[in-house]
Every structure is written in structure tokens, then in C-alpha cells.
């Protein structure tokens, strides 16, 4: 077993319980909620460690539980979140006999299989398809590959597109042949260690640049969560002149929690100025606010007060309309403890009603929260509108069998 997963399993056993404080009002379900990073099939990707999936089995009942499914279809509808990026996590070389690309394609097929078991969900291939699915009352899911380590040649981007992947997070926890990942994020995510503030010097590699250009041609949404500042800047240098927006699917404000994994104010402004969106995570470790900040006497550390503080900060730096939810639920995260603005803490996805109420009570306009869905659909449609239809057709033809065949071990 690789060290990162072993550390994750050990850290999952740590639980701290702060004092619960009096409750504020709960918010109503959103009219157009989104989640730009939600794992639906982690029980397959992290088998046998992760238990349950949306619609089956138990659900987390405490904010520190990591290895049990934390969301259900009913909770998604109850909180108003019906448009999601379905995160595919290819394990860190833990599947003997499969290459990194083959594992990514396998996870895409696992998501297909999930849809067969759960008819309340449906995979969307583009923005128009997503609108059709939403109109039918189902949850629309755009497949999102978390980490492009399987991309070893440009043609691999085509294979992922043909398999249905419509969002690619360029890098994940470690730097790859595509470029540099944010410094210090692995030890902080798994052990809670504070980063030293140093920035990763590596940006996009030459292969990374070619891959980004191909993603643009295919209409794949480019996600720069987990990336080094240099990589984000390099990607923007390609996409800005083309009018292609980016997304940072699950992040927080570096100004409140100093880690390269979190987004700097300068890069947040630049991403939003290019038409992009920023997804706020529910990851308690990532939101852990630095104690040097004066956040007011009522602020309760390690509760959802931290999430509200990060959301408000980025709303002030950019705009409330540029922010969406990027929960990372089922991504092995711990969530907000009870207290502050969320009396129950974030035990599972059903507690998001508290977050909507807390954000409204803190001055985030309800219209901005309800407008998440339309903003994300517009971004997806804008990306697809910049795509080359001939490139899309070529990728589908060349890799048609990726989606049709059960084996992905012999992809050309």
C-alpha cells in the first residue's frame, strides 16, 4: 500500500469534539445549486476502504468520519444541489495491471455503471445536455477527472474525452509530467501539518501545454485546483487570449489560510476576470483559518464559520456571483465541527441547509447562491462554444471502443 493512503487511514481515526453553540436559522434549498467537486463512486475507486455510495447504505454521522459515504440523492434535492461535477479519483498506482490512463478510464466506466444503478442521476455531455437532464428532475453529472497523471501523450486527452470526461483537474497531490502541483498539500491534507509558505516553482511542462491546448479544442473544462501558482499562470496565458474560462473546483482563500493549495487573491481576480468560477471546499483542514486574522469574537474556529469567512473574503475580492460550492464530499475530508453558524456541524450533505442560512446571514446575496447553476451552465457552454467540432468528432471516432468495451487495458 502506498504511504499517502496509509497516512489517510491513520488520520481518519482522529476525532476532536468542540463545544456546540446555539443555532442560527437554517436556509432553504437553493433554486439552482451546484457542486463542482463531488465524489459519487468513491466506494469503487477506494475499494475496500470506502463504504457505501449515494443511495445505498449508511451515511456519515460525524464531521470527522472520512471512509463512509456522506451524500444521498435525497439530500442533494433537499439542499437544491442538482448540477455536479462527478469527481473521478484514480488511486495512486494501487491497481496492479492498469496504467494510470487505464485506471482513469476504468473510473469513468464505474461512473457509467453508477448511473445504471441510480436512475435519479444522469451523465451530461455538454451544457445543453445538462439543461435537459435538470428539466427532467434528475441530478446532472459532468464527469471530472481529478489529476491528469494518466496523460502521457496528447492523444490520451482524446481517449478521456471519448470516455465522457468533460472536466480535467490538471494535477492532483503531486507534480506530474504535465506540471507542478501546489507545494505541501499532501502533508497538510493527510496530517494537518502547516505548510512553510514556499511556492512550487514548476509550471506547465511542454506536454502540459499541448494537453491544455487539446482540452480547449475538445471543449473540456480546465480545472486548476491543486495546481501550483506557476501552473495556474501558465494555463491562463493559454486560455485568456482564447476567451476560455477556467474553474478552480475546490479551494479556499490563501489570505485566511496560507497554503499554496488555497487560491491567492491575485489569481482569484484573474480567474474570475476571464469568466471563471471558484468552488469553495468543505474540507475542514483546508479552511482552517490562521489565528493571526481578526475574524471577530463570535467566530468559532473549525466550525463552518471558517467556510463563511473564506466565502465572504473571496466574494469581496471577486464577486459573490463568481463563487460556487465545490464540496469534495467523499474525498476523504473532515468537515466543520458543531458550533458557530452551523449548530449541527457538517455531518453529511444534508447539513448544507445550515451553510446556505449562514452565508445569507453573513451578507451573501440569496440571488448569488440561487444563481450558481446558471453561472456554471454558462461556463460549460462557453467552453464548449470555443471547441473544434472536427476535433471532437475525431476523438470520438478514434476512441469509440473506450466507451463500448469492458476492457480498457489495451487502449491504443
Higher pLDDT, 160 or 9: 160
CATH of 32-289+298-400, one of 3.20.20.140, 3.40.50.2000, 2.30.110.10, 3.50.50.100: 3.20.20.140
Q: DSSP character for 323?
A: E
pTM, 2 dp: 0.92
Separation between Cα atoms, residue 325 and residue 279, nearest integer Å: 5
* Residue-wise pLDDT tens digits, 375-408: 999 999 999 999 999 999 999 999 987 665 434 4
Higher pLDDT, 98 or 292: 98
Q: Output the average pLDDT for the chain.
A: 89
Give the C-alpha distances (Å, rounded to integers) separating 358 from 10, 22, 119, 253: 32, 13, 32, 18
Among the listed ranges 5-19, 53-67, 140-154, 257-271, which one has the minimum average pLDDT value?
5-19
The reported pLDDT for the residue numbered 15 is 40
* Residue-wise pLDDT tens digits, 76-89: 999 999 999 999 99
DSSP conformation letters of 35-88: EEEE-S-HHHHTTTTSB-BTTBS----STT--SB----HHHHHHHTEEEEEEEE
DSSP conformation letters of 8-37: HHHHTT-----------PPPPPPSSEEEEE
How do strand 167-169 and strand 277-280 relate by DSSP bridges? unpaired
* Residue-wise pLDDT tens digits, 325-343: 999 999 999 999 999 999 9
The reported pLDDT for the residue numbered 233 is 98
Among the listed ranges 185-194, 199-208, 253-262, which one has the minimum average pLDDT value?
185-194
The domain spans of the chain are 32-289+298-400
Among the listed ranges 48-52, 128-132, 162-166, which one has the minimum average pLDDT value?
48-52
The reported pLDDT for the residue numbered 403 is 61
Beta strand residue intervals within 104-245, DSSP E: 121-123, 139-146, 167-169, 221-223
Decide if 182 contacts 259 (C-beta within 8 A): yes
Cell of 328: 469534495
CB atoms within 10 A of CB 381: 15
The reported pLDDT for the residue numbered 24 is 44
Above pLDDT 70, what percent of the chain? 88
The reported pLDDT for the residue numbered 2 is 47
Q: Is the pLDDT of residue 90 over 90?
A: no
Amino acid at each position: 500500500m502506498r504511504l499517502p493512503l496509509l497516512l489517510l487511514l491513520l488520520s481518519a481515526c482522529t476525532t476532536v469534539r468542540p463545544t456546540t453553540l446555539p443555532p442560527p436559522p437554517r436556509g432553504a434549498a437553493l433554486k439552482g445549486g451546484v457542486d463542482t467537486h463531488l465524489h459519487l463512486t468513491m466506494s469503487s475507486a477506494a475499494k475496500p476502504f470506502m463504504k457505501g455510495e449515494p443511495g445505498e447504505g449508511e451515511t456519515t454521522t460525524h464531521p470527522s468520519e472520512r471512509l463512509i459515504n456522506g451524500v444521498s440523492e435525497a439530500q442533494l434535492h433537499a439542499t437544491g444541489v442538482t448540477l455536479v461535477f462527478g469527481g473521478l479519483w484514480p488511486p495512486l498506482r494501487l491497481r496492479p495491471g492498469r496504467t494510470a490512463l487505464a485506471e482513469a478510464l476504468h473510473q469513468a466506466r464505474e461512473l457509467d455503471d453508477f448511473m445504471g444503478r441510480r436512475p435519479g442521476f444522469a451523465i451530461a455531455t455538454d451544457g445543453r445536455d445538462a439543461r435537459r437532464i435538470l428539466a427532467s428532475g434528475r441530478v446532472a453529472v459532468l464527469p471530472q477527472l481529478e489529476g491528469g497523471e494518466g496523460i502521457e501523450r496528447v492523444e490520451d486527452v482524446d481517449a478521456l474525452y471519448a470516455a465522457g470526461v468533460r472536466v480535467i483537474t490538471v494535477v492532483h497531490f503531486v507534480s506530474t509530467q504535465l506540471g507542478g502541483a501546489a507545494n505541501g498539500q499532501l502533508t497538510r491534507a493527510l496530517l494537518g501539518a502547516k505548510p512553510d509558505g514556499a511556492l512550487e516553482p514548476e509550471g506547465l511542462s511542454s506536454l502540459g501545454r499541448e494537453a491544455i491546448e487539446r482540452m480547449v479544442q475538445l471543449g473540456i473544462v480546465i480545472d486548476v485546483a491543486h495546481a501550483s501558482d506557476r501552473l495556474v499562470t501558465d494555463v491562463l496565458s493559454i486560455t485568456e487570449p482564447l476567451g476560455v474560462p477556467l474553474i478552480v473546483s475546490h479551494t479556499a482563500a490563501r489570505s485566511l489560510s496560507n497554503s499554496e493549495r488555497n487560491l491567492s487573491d491575485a489569481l482569484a481576480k484573474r480567474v474570475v476576470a476571464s469568466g471563471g468560477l471558484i468552488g469553495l471546499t468543505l474540507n475542514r483542514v483546508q479552511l482552517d483559518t490562521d489565528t493571526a486574522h481578526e475574524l471577530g469574537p463570535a467566530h468559532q474556529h473549525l466550525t463552518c464559520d471558517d467556510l463563511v469567512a473564506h466565502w465572504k473574503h473571496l466574494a469581496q475580492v471577486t464577486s459573490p456571483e463568481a463563487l460556487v460550492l465545490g464540496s469534495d464530499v467523499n474525498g476523504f475530508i473532515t468537515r466543520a465541527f458543531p458550533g458557530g453558524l452551523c449548530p449541527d456541524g457538517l455531518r453529511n450533505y444534508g447539513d448544507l441547509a445550515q451553510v446556505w442560512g449562514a452565508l445569507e446571514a453573513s451578507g451573501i446575496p440569496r440571488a448569488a447562491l440561487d444563481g450558481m447553476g446558471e453561472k456554471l451552465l454558462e461556463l460549460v457552454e462557453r467552453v464548449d462554444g470555443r471547441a473544434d467540432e472536427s476535433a471532437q468528432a475525431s476523438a470520438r471516432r478514434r476512441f469509440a471502443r473506450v466507451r463500448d468495451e469492458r476492457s480498457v487495458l489495451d487502449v491504443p
